[in-house]
């Protein structure tokens, strides 16, 4: 951490691709959750001739299109973890063998349980956020991508790459297609619960912690509110 004696110090944390991914991903998840829910529980039946409508078709199209954005975005995000700055790796590789890391997780927990008076300062994510994002977002995303492509491969057919790479082993792994649907559906709720907590914590930390959060994900610059150490 820099030791400049300025009242407010700023660090450039989130590079452009990370921020772009964050907001595109947020949009994709929104579309995926809404359309996904409507695939499981469709809207009321339409009357008239079948050729006059393509409602379910459009809903499924939006789901698949947003799904591809989600997948390609995540591939890009993984790529950036390799070529980007050190913060780009954080959510993929929690330093679980570091004692300091766990003591900071503990401190962060105490802060959230209103025991610690003050949180510590972090340039990137705080340690608890790293664990939270690694487990719920990174693994949640992997799970949704794998089960999602497995379900897509069923429609694409036996000779599609989606089928041979995903459906062929994921469907038997879960038992049958209906089970993959159920777990994919539950996965949506895991991601939505992640979003609820993520948004709440982002606002809370933005107000109560010692650094900026929301503006950081827009501008990329983390500004600290005080220049005390740690």
Partner 1 sequence: MTETFYDVMRRQGITRRSFLKFCSLTAAAMGLSPAYAAKIADAMENKPRIPVLWLHGLECTCCSESFIRSAHPLAKDVILSMISLDYDDTIMAAAGHQAEAIIEETIEKYDGNFILACEGNPGLEQENTGGMSCIIAGKPYTEQLRYAAKHAKAIISWGSCASWGCVQAASPNPTGATPIHKVPDLGNAPIIKVPGCPPIAEVMTAVITYMLTFERLPSLDRQGRPKMFYSQRIHDKCYRRGHFDAGQFVEKWDDEGARKGYCLYKMGCKGPTTYNACSTIRWNGGLSFPIQAGHPCIGCSEDGFWDKGGFYNRLSGINQFGVEENADKVGIGAATVVGGAIAAHAAISALKRSQNKGDQA
Q: 148 to each of 30, 59, 106, 153, 156, how far by Cα in Å?
A: 15, 15, 35, 9, 12
Shorter beta-carbon distance to partner 1: residue 73 or 153: 153
Contact of 108 with 119, CB cutoff 8 Å: yes
Q: Could you tell me which residues come within 8 angstroms of residue 111 by beta carbon, excluding any fewer than 6 positions away?
A: 118, 119
Does residue 214 interact with partner 1 by CB under 8 A? no
Number of residues in contact with partner 1, rule: CB under 8 A? 47
Question: Which residue in 205, 178, 98, 189 sits closest to 143, CA to CA?
Answer: 189
- Provide the β-strand partners of residue 12: 221
Can you say whether the dihedral through the CA atoms of 28, 29, 33, 34 is positive or negative? negative
- Give the shortest CB-150-to-partner 1 separation in angstroms: 12
- Give the shortest CB-136-to-partner 1 separation in angstroms: 11
Contact of 35 with 59, CB cutoff 8 Å: yes
Binding span for partner 1 by CB under 8 A among 66-74, 77-85, 130-138, 196-204? 196-204
Does residue 57 interact with partner 1 by CB under 8 A? yes
Binding span for partner 1 by CB under 8 A among 3-11, 87-95, 142-150, 166-174? 166-174
Shorter beta-carbon distance to partner 1: residue 72 or 173: 173
Shorter beta-carbon distance to partner 1: residue 86 or 176: 176
Q: Contact with partner 1 (CB under 8 A): which of 26, 55, 96, 214?
A: 55
| CA-derived radius of gyration, the chain | 21
Residue environment code for 64-86, b if the CB has 16+ CB neighbours within 10 A, otherwise e: bebbebbbebbebbeebbeebee
- Region 14-53 residues binding partner 1, contact defined as CB under 8 A: 37, 40-47, 50-53
Binding span for partner 1 by CB under 8 A among 16-24, 66-74, 93-101, 173-181? 173-181
Does residue 154 interact with partner 1 by CB under 8 A? yes
* Binding-site ranges for partner 1 (CB under 8 A): 37, 40-47, 50-57, 59-60, 112, 114, 154-155, 157-158, 168-169, 172, 175-179, 181-182, 185-186, 188-189, 192-193, 196-197, 200, 204, 207-208
């Amino acid at each position: 951490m820099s030791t400049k004696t300025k009242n407010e110090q700023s660090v450039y944390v989130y590079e452009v691709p990370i921020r772009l991914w964050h907001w595109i991903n947020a949009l994709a998840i929104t579309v995926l959750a809404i359309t996904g829910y409507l695939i499981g529980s469709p809207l009321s039946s339409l009357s008239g001739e079948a050729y006059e409508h393509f409602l379910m078709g459009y809903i499924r199209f939006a789901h698949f299109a947003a799904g591809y954005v989600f997948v390609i975005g995540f591939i890009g995000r993984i790529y950036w973890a390799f070529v980007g700055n050190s913060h780009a790796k954080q959510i993929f590789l929690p330093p679980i063998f570091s004692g300091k890391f766990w003591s900071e997780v503990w401190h962060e927990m105490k802060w959230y349980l209103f025991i610690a008076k003050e949180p510590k300062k972090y340039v990137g994510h705080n340690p608890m956020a790293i664990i939270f994002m690694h487990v719920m977002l990174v693994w949640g995303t992997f799970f949704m991508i794998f089960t999602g492509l497995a379900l897509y491969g069923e429609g694409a057919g036996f000779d599609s790459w989606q089928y041979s790479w995903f459906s062929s082993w994921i469907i038997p792994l879960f038992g049958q297609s209906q089970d993959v649907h159920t777990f994919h559906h539950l996965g949506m709720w895991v991601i939505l619960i992640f979003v609820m907590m993520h948004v709440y914590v982002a606002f809370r930390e933005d107000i109560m912690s010692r650094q900026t959060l929301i503006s950081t994900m827009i501008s990329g610059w983390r500004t600290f509110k005080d220049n005390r150490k740690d």
